[in-house]
A and B are shown apart, each in its own frame.
Chain A
Amino acid sequence: MSAVVLKVADLRVSYRRSGGSFLALEGVGFELIRGQTLAVVGESGSGKSTLAYACAGLLTPEQGSVELLGRPLARQRAKDLRWQAQHLQMVFQDPVSSLNPRQTIAKSLAEPLLSVAGNARPAAAEISKRLAELIAQVGLRQDIANRYPHELSGGQCQRVAIARALANRPEVLICDEPVSALDISVQAQVINLLLELQQKLALSILFIAHDLGVVRRIADQLIVMHQGKIVERGPARQILSEPQHPYTQNLLASEAKLDFG
């Protein structure tokens, strides 16, 4: 089995807007290695979320290719979509709006189990066993299953969103700013959870972030994006200690740090 789980080559995406088009991504390519975390850092408008959507097949690039486990993403047939959903899942920034407010947590968590099964619907007992596993895996109490999203805190909702993404044991997880909407004390908990799950489940993670702070602990490889292009890439530790591109240097220098006077 190849070590590359997600391969992106020469991606180009542009959005139509009044009076022409806006080039959101150009010439972007990378490889995500099994069991590693690749972080994509950039400010608003850098194209990082567009990149995440293209990798998840949520938008079709004008040019370039995305290969998941050696297969190019194809969005035409239901069979392809099911296959893809089993191997790649996404966690979004806003945990509350990524859950259906009218469904209990148990129902939200069971949905992916049913949707990839096609006609071979799993037995109720099997589903409830897997639900219990998932809830325990993300460090929540079992009684959360019968609650609704509005009864949970933001951190708890993000844990549910992670559990839901992991329901079908995907190889690749795309996390688009998964902790930006959370309080600092809760951010660290969710990062630790992702680190722990990655080790336990050998997950490969594409981690999108706007700041370098959260990336420090989680990233093996790092890509810095600016205006739709990659300006710097390499091992995260190396870039964070010796940034080469002026933009990365500026990004690092602009980070708010504790000032003890």
Chain B
Amino acid sequence: MSLLEVSQLKVSYPTRDGVFDVVRDLSFELDEADSLGIAGESGSGKSQTALAIMGLLPANAQVGGSIRLDGQELIGESERVLDRLRGKSLAMVFQDPMSALNPYMTVGRQIGEVLELHQGMSANEAAKRSCELLQMTGIDEPGRRSKAYPHQFSGGQRQRILIAMALACGPRLLIADEPTTALDVTVQKKILELLRSLCKETGTALILISHDLAVLSGMCRNLMIMYGGREMERGPSQRVLLQPTHPYTAALLRTLEDLHGGAGALAVIPGEPPDLRNPPGGCPFHPRCSEVLPHCSKEIPRTRPVRRIGDKQSHWVACHLEQEQ
């Protein structure tokens, strides 16, 4: 059994103009201590997927399908049970560390609160452990700094504090949603290195979400590419990057590589990301796809294993083209 099993996940929002699906037919698994990178543009459904796993979707969201952690179904579970899981088994690091921290509370208190709540520590024990956690995430002079407030730290340091808080109770799964997007590149590199080494040391499974394939490629063993609320391609990172099978993945990689070399006009993916209020029929990528087939606009491609002779790697793609070959 995998640590996390997501099956046929669907997230939608009812509005005055009808029901909008933001995640559709999403299935994937994640093993203990493994890592998965979810890549996608805005509106791809990557953050909605993270929030669905955490049980943090807004009250008006409609969730279907199944999310199992260690075999336990999370969809439809009570807030009381979810509250016990969050922090203890599941933890999340958000994009904007400033708004994820309480501005009126010292950072030591904020980390200590998690420990008291989930591990029944006394205030003194929690304070001591908070300092250790701050030290572990690379905050200098943790004894003194634990008494400081969030605004007294830099953006990178705040993200370190959030990571300390997320790992405080030794969760099985850590979800980091664009943890470095708000940071400078030199700081981004350090934070990613910290995340990777801590997850490895503690055996925590990691779901890293980013719009930047380059960030994910060095961090995660597996990759999932999302577009328009659907999974386009999933497999071992090196396989997906070296042998991209979905035209969207291939086009994204061309754009990225072109950005770092070459001359003249940049390779582009024509068109705009899909409007969720009025999604295209069939495959969501078909209006922008360079290899579009007649039935791409009518029929949603099922996710199928990529067929290669003598191949046991689990590489999946949702594209009619693969079926034709």
| Interface residues of A, Cβ cutoff 8 Å to B | 43-44, 153-156, 183-186, 188-189, 191-192, 195-196, 210-211, 213-214, 216-217, 250-251, 254-261
Contact = CB atoms under 8 A, between A and B. Distances in A.
Given A210-B184, A254-B186, A261 B259 contact: no
Given A155-B272, A186-B272, A217-B259, A256 B186 contact: no
Interface in B189-225: 189, 192, 211-215, 217-218
Contact of B188 (A214, A256, A261): A256
Interface string B56-85: 000000000000000000000000000000
A68 B252 CA distance: 40
Interface residues of B, number: 43
Given A184-B212, A260-B238, A192 B260 contact: no
Contacts, number: 96
Given A153-B273, A183-B41, A258 B211 contact: no
A260 B259 CA distance: 17
B237 interface: yes
Nearest to B241: A260
A216 B256 CA distance: 12
Contacts of A186: 272-273
A185 B186 contact: no
5 contacts: A188-B259, A192-B266, A258-B213, A258-B214, A260-B241
A188 B188 contact: no
B41 A211 contact: no
B267 interface: yes
A189 B268 contact: yes
Contact of A191 (B185, B252, B266, B272): B266
B29 interface: no
Contact of B259 (A155, A216, A254): A216
Contacts of A260: 217, 238, 241-242
Nearest to B227: A185
A156 B256 contact: no
A256 B265 contact: no
Closest 7 CB pairs of A and B: A259-B218, A43-B184, A256-B214, A183-B41, A185-B269, A188-B266, A261-B238
A148 to B, nearest CB: 14
Interface string B168-188: 000000000000000011111
B313 interface: no
Nearest to B155: A44
B42 interface: yes
Interface in B221-275: 237-238, 241-242, 251-253, 255-263, 265-270, 272-273, 275
A47 B318 CA distance: 46
B273 A183 contact: yes
A188 B255 contact: yes
Nearest to A256: B214
Nearest to A154: B42
Contacts of B257: 258
Contact of B252 (A156, A184, A214): A184
Contact of B215 (A185, A188, A211, A256): A256
B253 A184 contact: no
Interface in B33-70: 41-42
Contact of A192 (B218, B242, B265, B272): B265
A217 B273 contact: no
Contacts of B213: 258
Contacts of B261: 216
A195 B262 CA distance: 14
Contacts of A184: 41, 211-212, 252, 255-256
Nearest to A215: B259
A261 to B, nearest CB: 4
Given A185-B273, A195-B265, A210-B185, A258 B255 contact: no
A192 B185 contact: no
A251 B189 CA distance: 10
Contact of A43 (B185, B253, B258): B185
A167 B214 CA distance: 37
A185 B237 contact: no
Contacts of A155: 272
A32 B263 CA distance: 22
A154 B275 CA distance: 11
Contact of B185 (A189, A195, A211): A211
Nearest to B180: A256
B186 A251 contact: yes
B90 to A, nearest CB: 26
Nearest to B274: A153
Contact of A156 (B41, B188, B272): B272
Contacts of A185: 41, 251-252, 255, 268-269, 273, 288
Contacts of A214: 259
B268 A192 contact: yes
A97 to B, nearest CB: 16
Contacts of A153: 272-273, 275
Contacts of A254: 185-186, 188-189
Nearest to B256: A258
